[in-house]
Copies of this chain bind each other. A is one copy, B any other.
Amino acid sequence: MAVYTDITDAELDAFLAAYDLGTPLAFKGIAEGVENSNFLLETTTGRYILTVYERRMKEAELPYFLDLLAWLAQHGYPSAAPVANRAGKTLGHIRAKPAAIVAFLQGMSVRKPGVQHCREAGEGLARLHLAAHGYPGRRANALGQDAWAPMFDGLKSAAEDLKPGLSAVISQDLATMAAAWPMDLPQGTIHADLFPDNVFFLDDKFSAAIDFYFACDDALAYDLAVCLNAWCFEADGGFNVTAGRALIAGYERHRPLSAAERQALPVLAWGAAMRFFLTRLNDWGSTPAGALVKPKDPLEYERKLAVHRAAYQGGQGLILFADGAS
């Protein structure tokens, strides 16, 4: 959570001159999002979030994300609709960095989701998959299953530093996943990062999803697997089956899973844990001391990997379905 780019009133005025948003009434940097600088912008026409894209964002990819947000808004999904300037463009520049204005969304994320929040998040995810259906933008999942082994090649010593012996365990995991990874599941546009801090609630009901900057094409059920990891583990590392079942039940209210998707969930959840373990391990080693953003502990996902490994190898999966499938 940080504000990396400082914007003066003169820079804001120059940026807003291209928009029909009236005159600014308030402008405050907000601590939301990790990768970008975000500002609350209030004008005579309403409230907005201005985002300045920093660091990791490739400008060439931004239209994919902004067009997706526009598509979702047009299809009734509660996400932040981009605001176009008078030239019809949703992407501009401030201080030579790409910048965009989106609608302000009410709602608050929850730190410790309860079972009801998991059910709501599942509903929000399924609605996203349905609303995104037909979106013409394409983006490969740069952090998908085929990327993990090459990524881990550069992280073996970091894994050993984290926990001696871990490198061999992860290598074996990756080999097992590569052999077992399902290739024929229903594909679509996925959020790929729908953690609790990216979901807003109002009155404990799902109200909006934010931060679509990992969105890509992949198996829809993989998105659900990401959520199982992000929403349904207890602080002590245990998987909360009740929360997991609620998440899936919420999802299936809008989009029932196929038998193949259910069957695949254990390996998808294991793989989803691998994806976040690998990026956290990478960030852990490469974030300079004193940086504004504190890297997330890769051990959290190392423990989730262990849970999924045991469930997969034991053949029982996560016991998510009454019929025994996964």
A interface, CB within 8 angstroms of B: 1, 3, 8-10, 23-32, 40, 42, 104-112, 202-203, 289-292
Contacts and interface: CB of A to CB of B under 8 A. Distances in A.
B1 A29 contact: yes
Contacts of A3: 1, 31
Nearest to A41: B108
A23 B207 CA distance: 15
Contacts of A26: 104-108
Contacts of A27: 108
A106 B25 contact: yes
Contact of A29 (B30, B110, B289, B290): B30
Given A1-B29, A42-B106, 15 more contacts: A8-B111, A9-B109, A9-B111, A10-B111, A10-B112, A26-B105, A26-B106, A26-B108, A27-B108, A29-B31, A30-B30, A30-B31, A40-B40, A290-B291, A292-B292
A105 B26 CA distance: 8
This chain: copies in complex: 2
A66 B203 CA distance: 31
Nearest to A12: B108
Given A29-B1, A31-B30, A289-B290, A8 B112 contact: yes
Query: Which A-B residue pairs are the 4 nearest by beta carbons?
Result: A290-B290, A29-B31, A8-B111, A28-B30
Interface centre among A9, A24, A105 (most CB of B within 10 A): A9
B40 A9 contact: no
Contact of A31 (B23, B28, B112): B28
Interface centre among A1, A105, A203 (most CB of B within 10 A): A1
A9 B104 CA distance: 19
A14 to B, nearest CB: 12
A115 to B, nearest CB: 16
A199 to B, nearest CB: 12
Contacts of A104: 26
B31 A110 contact: no
A23 B108 CA distance: 11
B40 A30 contact: yes
A285 to B, nearest CB: 18
A318 to B, nearest CB: 27
A184 B95 CA distance: 50
Nearest to A112: B10
A291 B105 CA distance: 32
B9 A28 contact: no
Contacts of A108: 9, 24-27
A3 B30 CA distance: 9
Contacts of A292: 292
B25 A202 contact: yes
Nearest to A201: B9
Contacts of A291: 290
Contacts of A289: 290
A72 to B, nearest CB: 20
Given A30-B31, A289-B290, A290-B289, A107 B10 contact: no
